[in-house]
Structure 1
Amino acid sequence: MAAPSGSGRQPVSSTAAAVGAKIRLRRQQRGMSAAEMARRAGLSKATLSQLEAGKGNPTIDTLDAIAVALRIPIADLLARDADTGPVYRPGTPAEPGDVARELLRRISSGNSLEIWRLRIPPETEVTGVPHATGTIEHLLIATGHVTAGPVDAPQDLGPGDMLAFAGDAPHFYRTAAEAVDITVVFASPIST
């Protein structure tokens, strides 16, 4: 009887491949040989080789032993890096009197991180729609003055001020006599 295609092997999962690549990268960054890493983690070289190739299915205890040997948090082995290098976004003009919202960057790796530029004209109030449960909204004021934050605890902010608050509750932004330019970062947990 012929063996099933693929010789009965499971395909390499993207998670296993990502974890394996992270183990290899961190080991190399520390200048450790595979033999030294295996010894410190209490693993065989063959097991470490399989894990680094993304072909293993390590237990939490194995990942913990590797993290201890590398002197890093275990979460560093599980985090997926999505950094594509430097990102440049040129500024764009805003129409006078309009609220302008621009998504500058979105990153997903355990949390969804979005960076927006918000420009609000003078004498304007914007009601913030509550975001997903667990979202934290971070404001960094570039220019102007604004009263912003949760409806029950707003803050008066000026250039250089930063405010972080629970974005899953009602919130608002209110300008006075001048326009405001704000960088807004939304950090939301990714539900699976």
Structure 2
Amino acid sequence: MAEKIFSERLRAIREERNLSQHELATVSNVNRSQIAKFELGKANPTLDSLVDIAFALEVELSDLMPMFRYRDERAAG
């Protein structure tokens, strides 16, 4: 389930930024084929890749993986 949410969010945010997979790969230093696998839900990113992609897209990790937001809110509350 989390993989599907991540793959859908990654693709949606990338497309909102008008970036191709190749362009995202270039700015994030993550291989384009890996980005394609992430978007298809066929691979899970390492923490390093996740951070690199979030930085390149100028979003928080919780924007890519909303389950982080839930955990953060629970911890703060």
- With the shorter chain as reference, the TM-score category is 0.7 to 0.9
- Normalised TM-score (structure 1): 0.35
TM-score by length of 2: 0.84
Gap runs ≥5 in structure 1:
1-13, 81-108, 112-187
| 2:3 aligned partner | 16
Is residue 189 from structure 1 mapped to residue 74 from structure 2 by the alignment?
yes
- Deviation track 1:14-71 (CA, whole Å, cap 9, x = no partner) reads 1111111111000000011111011111112110000011111211111000001100
Query: Partners of 1:39 and 1:69 in 2: how far apart?
Result: 9
Would you tell me which structure has more strand in proportion to its own residues?
1
Per-residue CA distance 1:87-119 (angstroms, 9 max, x = gap): xxxxxxxxxxxxxxxxxxxxxx726xxxxxxxx
Give, in whole Å, the separation in 1 of the partners of 2:41 and 2:8. 7
Alignment of 1:129-168 (within 5 A): none
* Displacement over 4 Å in runs of 4+: none
Equivalent residues in 2 for 1:68-87, closer than 5 Å: 68-79=55-66
Stretches of structure 2 that go unaligned for 5 or more consecutive residues are none
> What fraction of aligned residue pairs are identical, expressed as a percent?
27
Greater RCO, 1 or 2 (C-alpha within 8 Å, sep 6+): 2
Distance between the aligned counterparts of 2:49 and 2:74, measured in 1? 26
Q: Distance in 2 between matches of 1:71 and 1:47?
A: 19
Number of residue pairs aligned between Structure 1 and Structure 2: 73
